[in-house]
Amino acid sequence: MNKLFKTLAKCKLSLLALAVALIVGSCTKDNNPFDLKDADKSQYGGNSNDGVIKILAIGNSFSEDALEANLYELAKEKGKTVIIGNMYIGGASLAEHKKNTDNKASVYNYRKIGKDGVKRIYNAIRMDMAIEDEHWDYISFQQVSQNSGQLETVQASLPAVYNYVKSKVTNPNVKYVYHQTWAYAQSSTHEGFANYGNNQTTMYNAIVNVSQKAKDIVPINIIVPAGTAIQNGRTSAMEDGFTRDGYHLNDLGKYTAACTWFETLFGQSAVGLQYKPAGMGNFEAAVAQNAAHRAVLKPFEITAMPDFLGEPGPLTAPVQIDFGDLTASPNWNQVRTVTAGTRINLKDSQGKEYGGLALTITERFNAINTDGPAVTNTPFNMPENVSRRSFFGNSKAAFNSIIVAQSTFVLSGLDQSRTYNICFFGARGGVSDNRETKFTAIGTNQAEANLNTSSNTANTVCVNAIKPDTNGKITVKVTSGANNNNGSGFYYLTSAVLTSN
pLDDT in tens, 203-256: 999 999 999 999 999 999 999 999 999 999 999 989 998 998 899 999 999 999
Answer yes or no: are the C-beta atoms of 339 and 361 closer than 8 Å. yes
CA dist., res. 276 & res. 36, Å (int) = 52
Q: How far is CA 230 from CA 165, 303, 311, 345, in A?
A: 29, 11, 21, 16
pLDDT in tens, 436-487: 999 999 999 999 999 999 999 999 999 999 999 998 999 999 999 999 999 9
The pLDDT of residue 34 is 33
Answer yes or no: are the C-beta atoms of 363 and 408 closer than 8 Å. yes
The pLDDT of residue 2 is 53
pTM: predicted TM-score of the whole model, two decimal places: 0.80
The pLDDT of residue 343 is 86
CA dist., res. 278 & res. 409, Å (int) = 25
pLDDT in tens, 262-310: 999 999 999 999 999 998 888 999 999 999 999 999 999 999 999 998 7
| 125 HSE (CA, 13 A, CB side) | 25
pLDDT in tens, 48-69: 557 899 999 999 999 999 999 9
Per-chain mean pLDDT for the chain = 91
Closest by CA position to 301, among listed 235, 231, 238: 231
CA dist., res. 356 & res. 56, Å (int) = 35
